[in-house]
Amino acid sequence: MSTYKAPIRDMQFVLRDLLNIEKHYQTLPDCDEVNQDLIDSILGEASKFSENIVAPLYAVGDEVGCQRQEDGEVKTPPGFKEAYAQYVEAGWPSLDQPARYGGQDLPMSIGTPIREMNGTANWSWAMYPGLSQGAMETIDAHGSEEQKAIFMEPLVSGQWTGTMCLTEAHCGTDLGLLKTKAEPAADGTYRLTGSKIFISSGEHDMAENIVHIVLARLPDSPPGTKGISLFIVPKFIPNEDGSIGKRNQVVCGVLERKMGIHGNATAQLNFDGATGYLIGEVNKGLNYMFTFMNFARLGTGLQGLAHSELAFQKSLAYTRDRLQMRSLSGPKNPDGPADPIIVHADVRRMLLTQKSFAEGGRALIYYASTLGDILTKSDDPEARKMADEVLSFLTPIIKAFLTETGFESANLGLQCFGGHGYINEWGVEQNVRDARISMLYEGTTGIQALDLLGRKVLGTKGKALKMMTGFILDFCKDARSTREIRPYLKTIVKLTKQWKSLTRKIGFAAMRNRDAVGAASVDYIMFSGYLLLAVCWAASARAAHYRLSKGTNEAAFYEAKIQTAEFYFAKILPRTTSLYETMSTGPDTLMKMDADAFMF
C-alpha cells in the first residue's frame, strides 16, 4: 500500500523555475532575505510533518470519524488532537502571518505548499487549521483594534481555531434568506439566536477555543443581502486579559453524517442568545465576509489539487507493481507471468491526466499565491490594485476548475486500481468520497461560473477578461524565443481569441435573453481553466527546455515535464473544442421544456 510523499521536487520547480520566487521576494518589503535555501529548509521540515504525522491518520479519520458527546462537545479521531498540538508547537500556524500578531511574517506563497502537503496527506485533518486562515484575514481586515488585540494572537499561534458560519437549513447560496438574529445588548455586544448547518470544524477538542465568524441580521435591518451583519462569536468568551472565560451559548446540535471527510467535524451549530461582537459596520456583513469566502475558495482549489496529487501518487505506485496481461506491442516483463499495467496505453492516459492536472494545477495556484503576496505585502498601490484584480478574476476559475479536475483524477485513480479501488483497503475510494465535497464548498461550480461570467467578465464589460488575455498574449510573444514550444503558443493564441469572441457572443445573447449567461457559464469556466492550464504547461515546457539547454544532472525530470506538456496539449486541451460548441448553442434547448414535463 502506497503512502503520501510530498512532491518537493515539483514544488521547487514551480517556485524556482516558473515563478522565479527569489526575485519576486526581493520586490516585497522585508522579504529580500527569503532565499531558496530557507524555502528548501521549510519544505523539508514540512514534508516530514505531513508524511510522518498527518498522513498516518488518513485512514483512521475516515473509519472512526468524529464523535459527538452528550454535552455537545466533539471528540476528534484518535491522533488528530496530538498531531495538532505538534503542529502548533512547531510554529506552523504562524508561518505566513503578520509579525504584529506574533507571526513569522513570511509570504503567503511559502504557506501555500505547506497547506498543500497537509491537505494531500489528510484533508480532513488539514481543514481544522485551514479555516483559521480565513478567520484571521477577516478580523485583521475588518475588525476593530480591540477585536484584533483579543483574537488575533491566539488565532495566529494556533491556540484557537476559526470557522465560517453562513449556511442555514432553508438557504444555501442565497444568503439574503438567512434568519439568524442578532439583538443588541446593553454592554455593546449582541445576542445571536439561530442555527447554522454544514459548519466545517464547527466543534472539536483540538484547540482551547473556537472563533466563529457568523452572518446574522439585526431586528431593524432591511431584507435581503443589504441587511446582513457579521459577528465574532467565540465558543468561550475571552476575559479582558485574553484568557478563556465562560462558555458561550453556542453548541453543536448534531454532527452531519457525510459521504466523506469523516475526520472533520461538520456541525450544526445552535446559537441560543450567544454573545457576539459586531465586525465593522451594521449591514455590511456580506461585503466583509467575502474576505473569508475568497480565501476559502482558494483553499478549496488547493483541495482539488490535493486530490489530484493523491490520486496520481497512489495510481502510479499501484500500476508499476500490478501485473496483468501483456503489452500489445510485445512483452515488457518477459521473465514474469504478465506485464505491469503501467505499460498499457489506457492506463498511461489515466496517469498522465492525473499528473497534468496535479502539476499544472500546482503551477496555477502557486502563481495565485504570489499575487496574494503582493496584495498583502507590497508598498506599491498600483501593484496591489493589479494583483487584486487578477486574483479576483482567477479565484472562481481556480476553485471550480481544480475541484472538478481533482474529482476526475480521484475517479481515474479508482479506475487504475480496478476492483481493488472499490474496496477501502487502499484508500482510493476514500479519496473519491473526500473529493466530491470540493465542488460544493464555498459555492458550487455553477455559482463560481456565474461569478466569473456574470460578475467578473460581463459585469466589468470585459475589462477583467481583457486584462487576463493581455497577460496571456504577452507571455506568448515573449516565449516565442523557445522554438520547441511555438506550436503550443499558436494554439494558446487561437484559444485566447476564441475566449474573447465567445464572451462577446454570450454578452450579445444575454441582452436578448438573460438565461444565456447561466446556460453557458459552467462550460465557460471550464474552457477558461483548460486554457489557463495550457499556459502553465507551456511555461513549464519552456522552463524545462531552458534547463536542459544549460546542462543538468536531472534530465529525466525536465524531459518528463516536456512530455507531460505534450500530452496535455494533445489529449486534454482539445476538450475546449466541444466546450466551444456547447456554449455556442444558447439557452433554448435548456429552457424550452415546461417544468411539469420533467416529472414523466
240 part of the active site: no
Q: Which three cell numbers stand for residue 479?
A: 516565449
DSSP reduced 3-state for 211 = strand
Instruction: Write down the residue that cell numbers 465576509 correspond to.
Output: 289
* Residues 227/221, Cβ–Cβ less than 8 Å: yes
Whether 332 is covered by a domain: the verdict is no
Handedness of CA 161, 125, 446, 582 (dihedral sign): positive
Q: Which three cell numbers stand for residue 415?
A: 479506475
Nearest to 94 by CA among 11, 6, 153: 153
Whether 514 is covered by a domain: the verdict is yes
- Region for 242 from its dihedrals, namely left if φ exceeds 0, alpha if ψ lies in -120 to 50, beta otherwise: left
Nearest to 57 by CA among 36, 40, 34, 80: 80
Whether 560 is covered by a domain: the verdict is yes
Whether 267 is covered by a domain: the verdict is no
Whether 526 is covered by a domain: the verdict is yes
Nearest to 448 by CA among 248, 301, 292: 301
Nearest to 309 by CA among 260, 358, 345: 358
Buried b / exposed e over 10-19, threshold 16 CB at 10 Å, is: bbbbbbbbbb
Q: How far is CA 504 from CA 221, 330, 458, 462, 513, in A?
A: 39, 52, 9, 8, 14
Instruction: Give the per-residue pLDDT at 595.
Output: 87
pLDDT tens over the chain, length 600 residues: 558 999 999 999 999 999 999 999 999 998 988 999 999 999 999 999 999 999 999 999 999 999 999 999 999 999 999 999 999 999 999 999 999 999 999 999 999 999 999 999 999 999 999 999 989 999 999 999 999 999 999 999 999 999 999 999 888 677 778 899 999 999 999 999 999 999 999 999 999 999 999 999 999 999 888 999 999 999 999 998 889 999 999 999 999 999 999 999 999 999 999 999 999 999 999 888 877 778 788 999 999 999 999 999 999 999 999 999 998 898 888 889 999 999 999 999 999 999 999 999 999 999 999 999 999 999 999 999 999 999 999 999 999 999 999 999 999 999 999 999 999 999 999 999 999 999 999 889 999 999 999 999 999 999 999 999 999 999 999 999 999 999 999 999 999 999 999 999 999 999 999 999 999 999 999 999 999 999 999 999 999 999 999 999 999 999 999 999 999 999 999 999 999 999 999 899 999 888 888 876
Strands (E), 109-165: 160-165
Q: Which of 82, 389, 442, 484 is catalytic?
A: 442
Instruction: Break the chain down into helix, strand, coil percent, rounded to 5.
Output: 65, 10, 25
Instruction: Give the per-residue pLDDT at 2.
Output: 54
Q: Look up the domain containing 568 and give its range.
A: 451-589
Residue 282: CB atoms within 10 Å = 15
Whether 223 is covered by a domain: the verdict is no
544 forms bridges with which residues in the sheet? Answer: none
* Residues 155/211, Cβ–Cβ less than 8 Å: yes
Number of domains the chain contains: 1
Phi, psi of 140 (to 5 degrees): -65, -40
Whether 4 is covered by a domain: the verdict is no
Nearest to 472 by CA among 525, 538, 544: 538
Angle at 483 (CA atoms; ends 479, 488), nearest 5 degrees: 65
Whether 508 is covered by a domain: the verdict is yes
pTM, whole model, 2 decimals? 0.96
